[in-house]
Amino acid sequence: MTSGEKIHRQSDMHPAPDDAVRLAVRDTNRYKIGEVAALVGMSSESIRYYEREGIISPERNPLSGYRYYSAWDINVLIKARSYRQAGFSMGEVVSIMNGFDTDTVLNRLASKQAELHQSIMHLAKLMYQLKEDAARMEETADAIGSFRFEYRPPMHFLQTQQGYALIASQCRILSDWVKDHGAFILPGGVYEGPSPDDVRYGFFVEDAKLEEVDYHNEQELEAFPGCFCLASSFYSGTGTPLCYGSFQSVLSYMEQEHLEIAASPISRIVHMARDGENAYQSLHQLWIPLSGKSSAHLRPKDMPIEEMLRDLGAYPFGSESLL
């Protein structure tokens, strides 16, 4: 990228329709740079850049020094702008339009088409992710004080903190994730025991999103296979460390219903912000894996969910709160 291109990258795509209208009524074959800039929607600086690079060649009045552009120059600039709108840089536009090698142009167009396709797919996944985030946040907020049985999706975990200190050796992976793929990971914790010291902090990525975050070295991550869980949600704040006490109501319900914990509970933070008192608040999505004994009556595939929940004695607030 040349310095001229760098300076004018953002300014070469702004039309000035009023000037373009005035230009349209001029009956002449020579146009000043301001008129051309208004017509084609480029800055004067960008037009001069293309002139320096040789894709247009205006006439210059030797007495006044003014440049005068022809209809041919204008058509070339319109084509250059169309390439810019397709995502080509100004330098790439110059490379395409300096010379008449159609094979080179076709290769560049094919390459840009593939690049745009990749961008469109990524944006589509981001749009779906935002839709998923909104549904998760609404569901998690509505689940405060209630419990349900659900299948936790398989995911991987990267521990990034020891207490409140970052683990330096894991920051490389975290940095790679955050730079381009932060929308697909969620912070959270693994509760290996009841006390705050038993909680490991880090980030979760669902197995279905591993390819999107472009990470293929799962050996550096901890796998959490999908499993049947008791799910709920809870709030946490800056002044209260995470521990089993954060979701004591869920544990009390499990004790009441004789449900046993099969593995470490995990929670993912679906929203965090500062409150009016300048303290952090977080909304957690909670999963507690159930033991084989607790899930011994898991339904066959053809068993209605209502039957399965009745077999488990799982109607603390009526069926409406669970389905």
Q: What is the mean pLDDT of residues 297-307?
A: 46
Query: Over 50: is that where the pLDDT of 308 sits?
Result: no
Measured between alpha carbons, how far is 49 from 44 in angstroms, rounded to an integer? 9
Give me the mean pLDDT over the 96-109 stretch: 90
pLDDT value for 26: 54
With CA atoms as reference, report the closest residue to 33 among 78, 82, 83, 74. Answer: 74
Per-residue confidence (pLDDT) for residue 291, from 0 to 100: 86
The chain-wide mean pLDDT, for the chain, equals: 83
Q: Quick check: 225 and 154 in contact, CB under 8 A?
A: yes
Q: What is the pLDDT of residues 227-258, one digit of tens each?
A: 999 999 999 988 888 999 999 999 999 999 89
Distance CA 305, CA 320 (A): 12
**Percentage of the chain modeled with pLDDT above 70:** 80
Range with lowest mean pLDDT among 234-238, 277-281, 310-314: 310-314
Residue 86 burial (C-beta neighbours within 10 Å; 0-12, 13-18, 19+): middle
Whether the per-residue pLDDT at 303 is higher than 70: the answer is no
pLDDT value, residue 268? 97
| Separation CA 315–CA 321 (nearest Å) | 8
Say what the pLDDT of residue 294 is. Answer: 58
Is the confidence at residue 194, as pLDDT, over 80?
Answer: yes
Strand 227-237 and strand 280-289: the pairing is antiparallel
pLDDT of residue 14: 52
Mean pLDDT on 186-206:
94
Residue 274 pLDDT class (50, 70, 90 cuts): confident
SS3 content of the chain, % helix, strand, coil (to 5): 45, 20, 35
Question: Do 204 and 151 contact (CB within 8 A), yes or no?
Answer: no
**CA distances, 158 to each of 151, 172, 173, 218 (Å):** 21, 11, 8, 10
Q: Is the pLDDT of residue 278 over 80?
A: no
Q: Give the pLDDT score at 317.
A: 32
pLDDT above 70: residue 108? yes
pLDDT of residue 296: 53
The pLDDT value recorded for residue 127 is 92
Tell me what the mean pLDDT of segment 146-163 comes to.
92
- Whether 279 shows a pLDDT value over 60: the answer reads yes
Which residues have a Cβ under 8 Å from the Cβ of 153 and sit 6 or more positions away?
206, 207, 208, 226
Q: Which of helix, strand or coil describes residue 157?
A: strand
Distance in angstroms (rounded) separating the CA atoms of residues 69 and 57: 8
Predicted confidence (pLDDT) at residue 144 exceeds the cutoff of 60 = yes
Tokens of residue 79, six digits = 């084509």
pLDDT tens for residues 59-102?
988 888 888 999 999 999 999 999 999 999 999 999 999 888 89
- The confidence score (pLDDT) of residue 295 equals 57
**Is a pLDDT exceeding 60 seen at residue 320?**
no
pLDDT at 134 over 60: yes
What does the pLDDT read at residue 181?
82
- 3-state secondary structure at position 226: coil
Query: Is residue 155's pLDDT more than 80?
Result: yes
Q: In this prediction, what percent of the chain has a pLDDT beyond 90?
A: 59
C-beta atoms surrounding 197 within 10 Å: 10
Band of residue 217 on the pLDDT scale cut at 50, 70, 90: low
- Residues 109-120, mean pLDDT to the nearest whole number: 94
Average the pLDDT over 43-48 and give the result. Answer: 95
Please state, in angstroms and rounded to a whole number, the distance separating the CA atoms of residues 217 and 210: 10
Domains (range + CATH), the chain:
3-99 (1.10.1660.10), 143-321 (3.20.80)
Residue 322 confidence (pLDDT): 34
